[in-house]
Every structure is written in structure tokens, then in C-alpha cells.
Structure 1
Amino acid sequence: MAKRKPNGAGTVTRRKDGRYQAAVYVPQPDGTTARKYVYGATWEECDHKRQELVERARQGIATPTRSQKLAEWLPYWLEHFIKPERKRTTHAKYETHVRLYLVPLLGSKGLESLSPRDVRTFLAKVTKLSSAATAKESHRVLRSALTAACRDELIVRNVAMLVPTPRVTSREVKPWTLDQTLTFLAAARRDPLYAAFVLAIALGMRRGEIVGLRWSWVDLENRVLWVGRQLQRVGGELYEDTTKNSKRRPVPLPRICVAALRWHRMRQDEARRAAGEKWDETGYVFTTRTGRPIEPTNLYRSFVRIAKAADIPVIRLHDARHGCATLLVACGVPPRVVMEILGHSQIGLTMNVYTHVAQETQREALGNMDRLLKRRH
């Protein structure tokens, strides 16, 4: 007596036209199940396709019974691929591109029917609506989503890889000169966040790393601090996360940072006594009057306010990292050491700064040569 197939193994039957048909219940991207049909000229060919569907179902791999629309796949990809594996800031950024550009402009296209021409048209529209930089980022999001679809065997090729990204003109970073930096520090000396600005300028710490710094990670006696966490606000929630490269790095403290942090700790002790029972002990270095961590955006607002009051150009707080790297390289610090101080994930990021400063040094050296040759002439 033939053995019965277990539940979920599917069936193979012969059609009236002589071909064979297999039917298997398979999971769908939306979490439901549906019957999937495959066909073959022989029983063996059809049964082989049935076994592949059963194996995919056992592994929990979604197999759409119809060509899935991008408007269906992209939210599923965000929820099941990006949200569990990537940082919340990355998920928020990708979700913005999906919501504002990908779904409105490409959502009606099927995964299998999407063509390189569709992608080129999409990039042109996004460039017109926003900018080439936004179109390039949307292309990266689409390419990542289609790569996941390929791995799930929903499509056989990633058409986004066949379309070049728009050419983007890099924004020229113009950090403050040494005189402008000193002017800003002098103007910020009485500000409650003076020590935060010193850390940004002298150590090149990121905004999230500064507001997420805890006293337990600061050793003023041995003049060192550890950078391993950051504070971010995403979706209306302030939360703590790992740093950009997810590594904890020790950073030696120059004397200007030690002095600023000691001064800041005394001010915080005064604020703690003044707040009394209202003080919420969080352990953060930079806090509000009641001990709560400060908002990352408020740090930048104070930065801009002081720069305007000092009558110097307003730059991004992140550009202070470039200024720090410039000063370090100008002092003769090797690029590898600069990379470790700033927490760059790749030496290429540091070398971009190093090359810029090296060119300035070469220009100054050749200027001296020019003066010598003119005098001799």
C-alpha cells in the first residue's frame, strides 16, 4: 500500500492536455499561505518543482503566487530585512525613500516586470523633484531591496544594478581656519555646553557621541575617554545606540579637554544641588537642568547661535570633524592615528582629508622655493 505524503508536501496530477501539475501551499510575503501551481512535461519534472516549493516552505521562504508589486515588497523588505539587522537611523532613512519616492513612482510595477528603463525614468523624476543626491540614495535603497528579492528567488536579476547612478557633485567642505576656531572657542567659553564644543573641535567627536557620553567612560586623572555609544532621536524617541562602526575606541584627552570637562563637572554638581529632588541621575556628561540627556538638535542650535554671535561662518557641527582632522594632519599626525581618533571605518575617509592638507603643505613648500629662486635670479 503506497505511503501517504505528509501534510504540506503537495500533490502532482495529470492534466487533460497531457502535462503534469503540482500544487503546494506556500507562505506569502504578507504572512498568509496560498496554493502555488507549477507545471511540467513529465511527472519527474513536475515532482522536482514540487519538492523545491516544499523545501522553500519548510525554510519559511516566501513564494508569491503572483508577480508581487513593489508597493507590497518594499514594506515587507523594510520590516523583515532592514529593521532586524540595521540601525534604526538606517531603517528610518530607507523608510523615507520608500514612502516619498519608491512607492509613489514605482509601486505599481511588478518585481518581475520592472525594467532598466523604469529605473532610469524613476531616477530622472526623483532628480527633478528633489536632487541628484536624493536620486542616488533612492537608487541605493532600491538596489538593496531588489538584492533581497533575488536572494529570496522572487526575481532572477537585479535591474537596478544595470542602471548607473546620477552623477553628484560633492559638497565642498570648508572647515574653520585656526583663527576662526579660536574665535568660536573664546565666544563659547561661558556657554553651558562649552566642553561639548571643545570635544567636537579637539577630538572630532560626532554629535550623537557627545550627547551620549557618560562620566563612567571619562578618566580625567589618566586623561582618556572611551567612545562606544551615541544618542539618537528617531521617530520621536530618544534612544541609545552603538557608534557608527559599532566599536568602542579609547581617545587620549589633550589638556584643553581635561580642563573643560573638569569645569563642566563642577557646573553639573551645582545644577544637581539646585535641582534637588527634581534631579534625574542618568550618568550623562551633558544634561539639562534636571539631569536628563540633552537633545542632539539642541546641541547644534547652541553651536549655530554662538557662531553667529562671534560673526564667523556657520558650518555643520559634523564639519568640525573635518577641521579636527585637518589640524591633526597639519601637526604631522599619521593618517592611521587620525583614523583611530575620529573613529573612521575606512582609511580612505581619512586619506581624503590627508590629501587635502598635504596639497596645502606642498603649495607652501613650493612657495618657499619660488621665493628662493626669485632672490637668486
Structure 2
Amino acid sequence: MAKRNPNGAGTVTKRKDGRYQAAVYVVQPDGTRARKYVYGKTWEECDQKRLELVQRDRQGIPTPTRSAKLSEWLPYWLEHFVQAQRKKTTAAKYETHLRLYLVPLLGTKSLEGLTPRDVRTFLAKVTKQASAATARESHKILRSALTAACREELITRNVASLVTPPRVVSRELRPWTLEQTLAFLRAARTDPLYAAFVLAVALGMRRGEIGGLRWSSVDLENRVLRVGRQLQRVRGELYEDTTKSSKTRPIPLPTICVVALRWHRMCQAEQRRAAGESWEETGYVFTTRTGRPVEPTNFYRSFRRIATGAKVPVVRMHDARHGCASLLIACGVSPRVVMEILGHSRFGITMEVYTHVTQDTQREALDKVDRLLRRGR
């Protein structure tokens, strides 16, 4: 007489067609429990499959009783894998791609039934609907979601990794020249956010890093500041987070930054006295008239307005980082030092900027050679 399995270990029975069937209650990806059936030609084969299901269940590994659809897995992955581990800005970007592209175009496909052809068709539709860059980002997100499904042993292969994403033509970097940078700073001298733009141009600080800068991180006596926080607004929520690299980087302050910050501190003290009891002490360097932090978008609004008034090309405030890199490289600073100053998370990012600027420098040098040679003809 066969021994009875303990509670929760499932059962093995013989079917009318001669095969054996095992049934085990397992946890689903959504947290519920349901009965999972496996089959085998012999009792031993079926019992081995039963033991594997029991082992997975005891380890807390979800086992779907049917192949989950992408419309079910992707939101689950976003909530339990992305939102719990990644930055809010990353989770918000992923949620947008799920809502606009992945779920509408691939949601009816099952995890096990998804094919490389389905992924290629999906990428073509997104490229036509939005752009190649958007399709490439959606491919990256899908690949990450399927990698998690592989780790959960819901599928045996990641079909997204078998498909090459669309090729994206990089946007040509056109940082301001030295003359344009000086024209912008002259026009910004009377603006309340002048010191912020000096930090953006001279140190290449990101907009969020400037907004999240506190006086406690600024040492004007020793001429150094520490960049370790940033201010972001996501889904209507203004919050403070770590920097993109999640590291604090000390930056020595050049004289132009020290002078601008000292003047800004004096102006802020006057604003504090004028506001009186309505002043809210937050400790931020750049604040409104009542002491609250400046909205990240307001930095760019002022930046764009000043650039227009100075009659220089209106670029993204983030492009000022490339202008800073251009100045540093023109001064002979090594790529590793440029990386540390700008706070790039990967050395490859620095090298992309460095290579572009170096090519411009080489072109200028060869143009000078060309003029000298032509003069001698």
C-alpha cells in the first residue's frame, strides 16, 4: 500500500488512459494559491514532478497554473521588482512604457507563447507610432521583465534577448562656444537664479542636483561643495532622492562659483527678513520668496528665457553639462577627472562626450594648419 503524502505535498493518481497525474496546491504570481496538475507515463516520473512543485512552493517561488499573459506579468513585475528596488523616476518611466506600448501591443501574449517574431513586430509598431529611441527603450524594459520571469522559472528563455533593438542615431552634441557661454552669464547676472546657472555652466551640475543642494553641503570657506542629493517631481510629487550614481561627490569650487554663492546667500538672507513669519526654513540653497525649494521645471524656464534674451541657441539645461565638459577638455583635463566632476555613472558616457569634443578640437587644429599651408602657396 502506497504511503500517503503529508498535507500540502500533493497526491499522485492513475488516470483512465494509463498515465499518472499529480496535483499540488502552489502559490500564484498574484499571491493566491491554486491547484497545479502535472503528468507522467510512470508513477516515479509523475512523483518526481510532484516533488519539484512542492520544493518550489516551500521556497516561495510562484508557479502559475496556466501560462500568465504579459498583461498580468508586466504590472506584477513593475510593482514587486521595479518599484521596490529602483528610483521613482525609473519606475515612472517603465510604467509609461507599459501603459502606452507594452501592454496594449503585447498584453494578450502569454509568457511561454511569446516569440521573437512577436517582439520584432512590436518594435516595428512602436518605431512607427513613436520613434526608434522609444522602441529601443521598450525593448530594454521588456527584456528586463522577461529576465525576471526566467529567474522566477516561469519561462525557460528570454525571447527579447534574441531580437536586436532598433538602431538609434545619437543626437549631435552642440554645446555653447566660450563666447556664447559668456554672453549667457552676462545676461543672467541680474536673475535671482544666477548662482544656479553658474553652477550648471562651471561645474556641469544637473538641474535636480542644483535644486536639491543644501547650504549644509556648501563650504565656502574651504571652497568645496558636496553633491549627494537631487530634487525631482514625479507624478505630481516633489521629493528628494540620491543622485543618479547614488554617490556623493565633492567638487572644489572655482572663484566664480564662490562669489556667486556668497552673493546669493546675502540675497536669500534679505528674502528671509522680508518674508518674516511666512518664511519656511528648508535649508535649500535655491528657494522661493517664502523659503520653499524651487520647482525643477522653473530652473529651465528661467534658463530658456535668459538664453533667448542673450541671443544664444536655446538648448536643454542638461546640455550645459556638455559645455562644461568642452571647457574642461579644452583645458587638457583627463577623461577620468571629467567623469568625477560631472558625476557620470559610467565611464563610457564621459568618453562619448570626450570623443566628440576631441574631434572638434582636432578639426580646429587642422583648420589652423590648413590656413598656414594655404598662406605659403
Q: Give the TM-score, by structure 2 length.
A: 0.97
Shift of 1:276: 1.1
Return the letter of the residue paired with 2:323: G
Are positions 1:36 and 2:39 aligned together? no
Structure 2 CA distance for partners of 1:315 and 1:372, relative to 1, 3 Å: closer
Cα distance in 2 for partners of 1:182, 1:43 equals: 82
Are positions 1:26 and 2:26 aligned together? yes
* Partner SS state of residue 186, structure 1: helix
Corresponding residue of 2:60: 60
In the TM superposition, what are the counterparts of 1:147-166 in structure 2 within 5 Å? 147-166=147-166
Are positions 1:178 and 2:165 aligned together? no
Are positions 1:102 and 2:113 aligned together? no
Per-residue displacement from partner, 1:301-323 (whole Å, max 9, x unpaired)? Answer: 11111111222111000000000
* Partner SS state of residue 84, structure 1: coil
Cα distance in 2 for partners of 1:3, 1:284 equals: 71
Shift of 1:268: 0.7
In the TM superposition, what are the counterparts of 1:329-340 in structure 2 within 5 Å? 329-340=329-340
Return the letter of the residue paired with 1:231: L
In the TM superposition, what are the counterparts of 1:217-236 in structure 2 within 5 Å? 217-236=217-236
Cα distance in 1 for partners of 2:195, 2:103 equals: 44
* Partner SS state of residue 284, structure 2: coil
Corresponding residue of 2:139: 139
Cα distance in 1 for partners of 2:245, 2:9 equals: 45
Corresponding residue of 2:169: 169
Shift of 1:192: 0.7
Per-residue displacement from partner, 1:270-329 (whole Å, max 9, x unpaired)? Answer: 111111111111111111111111110111111111111222111000000000000000
Are positions 1:77 and 2:59 aligned together? no
Residue ranges of structure 1 left out of the alignment (5+ in a row): none
Shift of 1:376: 4.8
Corresponding residue of 1:366: 366
Cα distance in 2 for partners of 1:137, 1:371 equals: 45
Are positions 1:239 and 2:239 aligned together? yes
In the TM superposition, what are the counterparts of 1:154-303 in structure 2 within 5 Å? 154-303=154-303
Corresponding residue of 1:322: 322
Return the letter of the residue paired with 1:188: A
Per-residue displacement from partner, 1:172-194 (whole Å, max 9, x unpaired)? Answer: 12111111111111111111111
Shift of 1:3: 6.8
Per-residue displacement from partner, 1:36-90 (whole Å, max 9, x unpaired)? Answer: 0011112221111111111111222111111111100100000011111111111
Return the letter of the residue paired with 1:233: R
Cα distance in 1 for partners of 2:352, 2:167 equals: 19
Report which stretch shifted further, 321-330 or 52-61.
52-61
Residue ranges of structure 2 left out of the alignment (5+ in a row): none
* Partner SS state of residue 84, structure 2: helix
* Partner SS state of residue 352, structure 2: helix
* Partner SS state of residue 85, structure 1: coil
Shift of 1:18: 2.0
Shift of 1:21: 1.1
Corresponding residue of 1:49: 49
Q: Give the TM-score, by structure 1 length.
A: 0.97
Per-residue displacement from partner, 1:110-136 (whole Å, max 9, x unpaired)? Answer: 111111111111111111111111111
Structure 2 CA distance for partners of 1:179 and 1:369, relative to 1, 3 Å: closer
